[in-house]
Amino acid sequence: MLQPLFTPRAAFLSHHHWPETFTTTLAALHRFPHHPATTTTRLWHSYTSRVPPSTGSQISCFCCSRERSFITRFRARDLHNMVETPLMEEKHEWNAQRVRETFLEYFKERGHTFVPSSSVVPLSDPTLLFTNAGMNQYKSIFLGTVDPASDLASLKRATNSQKCIRAGGKHNDLDDVGKDSYHHTFFEMLGNWSFGDYFKKEAIGYSWELLTKVYGLDPRRMYVTYFEGGNGLEPDTEAQNLWRSVGVAEDHILPGDMKDNFWEMGDQGPCGPASEIHYDLREPEGDNYRNAASLVNQDDPEVIEIWNNVFIQYNREPDRSLKPLPNKHIDTGMGFERLVSVLQHKKSNYDTDVFTPLFKKIQEITGARSYRGKFGAEDPDGIDTAYRVVADHVRLLTFSIADGAVPNNVGRGYVVRRVLRRGARYARKYFEVEIGGFFSKIVPCLVEQMGDMFPEIRKKMTDIQEILDEEEISFAKSLDRGEHMFEKYAQKAKLSDSTALKGEDIWRLYDTYGFPVDLTRLMCEERGLTINDKEVEEAQEKAREASKGDRKATAALVKLSVHDLGALELMNDVPKTDDSQKYGRDNITSVIKAIYHDKTFLKSTKEVPEGEQFGVLLDRTNFYAEQGGQEYDTGRLLVDGVAEIRVENVQVYAGYVLHTGYMMYGELNVGNEVICEYDELRRHPIRNNHTGTHILNYALREVLGNDIEQKGSLVAAEKLRFDFSHKVAVSDAELDKIEKLCSSYIHQNSEVYSKDVPLATAREIRGVRAVFGETYPDPVRVVSVGVPVEDLLSDVKNEGWEKVSVEFCGGTHVKQTGEIKELVVLEESGIAKGIRRIVAVTGQEAYEVQRLGSDFEEELARLEKMNYSPEKEAKAKTMGVDLNKLVISALTKASFKDRFAKIQKSILDEQKAAAKADNKRVLDAVTNFFSKENKEKVLVLKVDWSGTVNKAISEAIKNVSGPKSQLKDKTVYLLSANETEGKVVHGCYVSEEFSSKGAVAADWAKQVASVVGGKAGGKGATSIGQGTNADKVDDGVEEARKWIEKFTL
């Protein structure tokens, strides 16, 4: 609770027994320039306004908590001779954690439910790359599409601190990060919401009270805006008057236009006026407060928006008109980092304790000078900018990866990759550190700082670090060469008096060296160069065409025939390829020994028609050629900036490794030295899957028995496939044991060993696995998981080796099993008599299927909780289709199918019960009418709508017209409509009395259909119809009555 500024000494001493002689000097108050009592005059006035001077009482000052709180007291008659005497010191600094907690507690005390932050990866909103505002998770409430079974359906008031990312897409702050004091790619948005509960009065009152009374901000430095009207809308004078009523000065209440003060979710949907709160960061000079009204919403760094209240009261219709909403909502957002900077008296968000712990960690890791908070020309060495970039980027990387956005080349995954590479280049250039494990060292500091509020980053810290290291290592391979090529291109531009880098050079930096375009743009800015985006787009399109347009899509893979191999044997200068480097992880240089196209060996690629596939033989290679079930590597052979071959397939023929692909640019000749660069981002998951296959093979033997034999395998980047002998299907219980055994082996983080061993000796190793009928080289490569091969060879008959994964294998593997992360079985099936097949995924693919399973389970749990309704029926239909298509753990999917079958049965039971009740309801309405009005011969009745009313009307007509019906002499027309769905159902029966007068049921129904739309049909005395004009159903009732009345005369 906020303490009063001054209290009489007597009141103070009633709680605190302090000596009476304590006084204080004005110097103590000078520490708080924002405080109203910072001069003798103001201090005296504050005092005399509350305590008559004649009393000689002492008063106590509780300084507001924007600084360290010194509780001090004054003897009024001794103001002319004051001495500093702090009575006690309390830590009331507004540290970041306290700022956040205070906000959340304030609103929780006022009936708001704390809703944890949603993921930064929107799980069910394809329109968003990342969650970029606090309201994202409440969109379904605003749109009226909220699942009635979800927790959101009953929510009236909410508060939280939402994780947000603005990097990529419409909202992109990436290019500005590091250059100014307030842009971030990752930030928190504090917010409070009302869903059809309170509205403007309470929202404005809450925000003003929290800022001025709780946080203690000076109202003389605050400005508020309201919607001035426009586009046919009246000014929001209600908000204007409410700001007056809470005490905002008239000249601090400012009008704003549609751009700044009217919020819309999209082209159509909920929208409404907004009211912002701005704060002037410039400290006043004594009593002199400047009027900063003219600087509001002018991008002035000293006058910043801190809070926005959105009053959602309209709906934007498809025709762009606005209609008032039946339920009005409040959506507010306050930038957490900005609020902290204001409360800590900092003009830069980066000077607060949101970032300073990260800066200290960066300095510790890099040994760089300390952060000084300089910008632009005042930061000539770029170190301060680099601090800001790295600290900002590690926040985005940590939270995005924790929520499932892993680096790749698509969508949000590419945004994550761009951010990491931008940050890595800053770290290398300005901090002069080697990248490959840089960001992962900062992550624990961030987890310590924010892990209590956001436990997901603590839970996934190790995974986050591993992913960051993998991505950095991959980029490190090409960073040096890419920077070298950039310098070459920049120099070329300078020599040609150009101020812009060529589009084709920018695209090549991306395509060959992995430099995102915005990273190249940044490097250009550092060199005083620009980028022509149109040229870059043209270069990108040209590259796409080169990779697909002129190629012979149906052309068979280039292969070496037996005749080609014979010719090679006669060529003394073309040796068999040394592929011993295929197990390494570095690029190598090699010499082109032969170029092969159209059954001919060539000397130069210029002899190959443009866009056609060809093969290259090298003296040595680090590419893995397809063999042993493992897919080939892809990558490139290149001379930096001169020529590049895109390698799309690698096969080995009698010791000659043929690299097949296309010329991307330039030309190469036999004898040229090239860099061999396989695609590590493809090789890495292949390694995971190959070692995972060995572990799976071991687990199958452990669970199903030693008679299991491998019958085939596929090791690809996206999955592994393993065929084995087994007479019956693997049960769910067995599959569960197999998966758990694999996970246990993986999580032990065992080292993977390999060694070439004489074949005869290798065959003696107890428990070794090999493919029956396979011909192995001598010596053969033995791969062991967890036990050095030398130990195996020292005691080949040791029974303990049967508890170890040991295989003959020539493939690529991880160094330690922990790199695999997880193994998830997707499918177990039979492919032939006695042959079973398991398909599984590892690494990031495994995490992704687990995430998909978790997301679906949440939906399934909500469906289970829903009461029976048409909405539940519709949702069940959609989820049934989704479940069949879902690629997740086979065990999880089986569990989901069991649960879903129970849901379907319950829905079917409910449908039967509802249909039965509905049939009775409609028939009772008819029979009850004629029981009371037994002389009436005709009934035209509109009955209430239900999901089964169509069948109920049909059954009622059938009952009335049936041979045993006691109402067979009555004539009946029944109608029902659902305006929301635009549906009408109707049916009729014409008794013999009326039919004898010429009334025909089909004609009657057609007449009604002419009003309610749709069609009607039937034969004899009955007719059933369906219409679309639900809003015309009452007219249909009237039309039915008019028509039948003709036959009552």
- Find the mean pLDDT for residues 677-683: 92
Q: Which of 334, 351, 368 is the last residue of a domain?
A: 351
**Mean pLDDT, the chain, whole residue set:** 87
Of 698, 691, 704, 697, give the one whose Cα is nearest residue 804.
698
- Report the distance separating Cα 189 and Cα 475, nearest Å: 32
Average pLDDT of the residues in 972-982: 92
C-alpha 325/C-alpha 313 separation (Å) is: 5
- Give the pLDDT of residue 1049: 64
Find the mean pLDDT for residues 498-514.
Answer: 85
Where is average pLDDT lowest: 1-10, 126-135, 947-956? Answer: 1-10
CA distances for 279 relative to 139, 225, 250, angstroms: 29, 12, 16
Q: Would you state the pLDDT for residue 171?
A: 56
The percent of residues in the chain predicted with pLDDT above 70, rounded, is: 89
Question: Residue 32, CB half-sphere, CA atoms under 13 Å: how many?
Answer: 27
Separation between Cα atoms, residue 625 and residue 576, nearest integer Å? 14
* 443-483 pLDDT, tens digit each: 999 999 999 999 999 999 999 999 999 899 888 878 888 88
Residues 212 and 163 grouped into a single domain: yes
CATH of the domain at 342: 3.30.930.10
**Would you state the structure tokens that stand for residue 865, as one six-digit string?**
């909780």
DSSP string, 81-136: G------EEE-----HHHHHHHHHHHHHTTTPEE-PPPPSS-SS-TT-SS--SGGG
How far is Cα 376 from Cα 493, in angstroms, rounded to an integer? 25
The SS3 call for residue 714 is strand
What is the pTM for the complete model shown?
0.69
Range of the domain at 570: 562-677
Provide mean pLDDT across the span 235-258. Answer: 96
Question: Of 633, 659, 677, which residue constitutes the final position of a domain?
Answer: 677
Least Cα distance to 339 among 391, 279, 381 occurs for: 279
Lowest mean pLDDT among 91-100, 757-766, 890-899: 91-100
My answer on whether 141 and 274 are in the same domain is yes
Same-domain pairing of 337 and 368:
no
The answer to whether residue 291 sits within a structural domain is: yes
> Does position 394 have pLDDT exceeding 50, yes or no?
yes
Say if residues 634 and 679 touch (Cβ distance below 8 Å): yes
Can you give the pLDDT at residue 946?
86
| Count of other CB atoms within 10 angstroms of residue 32 | 19
State how far the Cα of 975 lies from the Cα of 1011, in Å rounded to an integer: 12
Residue 789 pLDDT grade (very low, low, confident, very high; cuts 50, 70, 90): very high
pLDDT band at 128 (very low <50, low <70, confident <90, very high): confident
Q: For residue range 519-541, list pLDDT tens digits in order.
A: 888 889 888 888 888 888 888 88
Q: What is the token pair recorded at 20?
A: 């009476």
Ranges of H-type helices in 748-842: 759-763, 789-794
DSSP state, 274?
E
Same domain, 490 and 387: yes
Listed residue (1019, 1016, 1021) closest to 1036, CA to CA: 1016
Amino acid, single-letter form, for residue 473: I
Residue 662 lies in a domain: yes
Instruction: Please check whether residue 707 lies inside any domain of the structure.
Output: no
Length of the chain: 1049
Instruction: Please give the Cα distance from 613 to 661 (Å, whole number).
Output: 5
The CATH number of whichever domain residue 953 belongs to comes to 3.10.310.40
pLDDT value at position 215?
97
Mean pLDDT, residues 674-679: 94
Rounded mean pLDDT of 308-333?
91
pLDDT bin (cut points 50, 70, 90) of residue 124 is: low
Q: What is the pLDDT of residues 568-611, one digit of tens each?
A: 999 989 999 999 999 998 899 999 999 999 999 999 999 999 88
Asked if the model's pLDDT at residue 659 lies above 60, the reply is: yes
In angstroms, rounded to a whole number, what is the distance separating the alpha carbons of residues 354 and 96? 6
Is 892 in a helix, a strand, or coil? helix
Strand order in the sheet with 823-832: 710-715, 720-725, 835-842, 823-832
- Cβ atoms within 10 A of the Cβ of 231, count? 9
Across the range 553-557, mean pLDDT stands at 60
C-alpha dihedral, 928 to 931 to 936 to 942, nearest 10°? 0
Same domain? 367 vs 303: no
Angle at 698 between CA 697 and CA 702, to 5 degrees: 120
Mean pLDDT of 726-736: 95
Least confident range of 124-128, 622-626, 713-717 = 124-128
Co-location of 928 and 1004 in the same domain: yes
Task: Specify the amino acid at residue 301.
Answer: P
What pLDDT shows up at residue 776?
A: 87
Q: Is 813 annotated for ligand binding? A: yes
Residues 83 and 132 in one domain: no
* Co-location of 298 and 195 in the same domain: yes
Q: 326 with 376, same domain?
A: no
What token pair was written down for 299? 């991008």
**Assigned domain for 742 exists:** no
Residue 189 falls inside a structural domain: yes
Nearest to 311 by CA among 418, 226, 431, 188: 226
Same domain, 43 and 174: no
Domain count, the chain: 5
Range from 169-178, 339-348, 391-400 carrying the lowest mean pLDDT: 169-178
* pLDDT band of 663, cuts 50, 70, 90: very high
Q: Flag whether 1036 is in a domain.
A: yes
The reported pLDDT for the residue numbered 55 is 36
Nearest to 745 by CA among 701, 710, 685: 701
The tokens of 473 are what?
A: 């290592």
Q: Do residue 81 and residue 107 come from a single domain?
A: no
Q: Is the pLDDT of residue 11 over 80?
A: no
For residue 327, what pLDDT band results from cuts at 50, 70 and 90? Answer: confident
CA atoms within 13 A of residue 635's CA, in its CB half-sphere = 29
d(CA 590, CA 606): 20
Domain assignment present for residue 771? The answer is no
Q: Does 809 count as an annotated binding residue?
A: yes
Q: Are residues 137 and 227 in the same domain?
A: yes
Domain annotation covers residue 805: no
Domain limit, last residue, from 677, 710, 745: 677
More confident residue, 500 or 657: 657
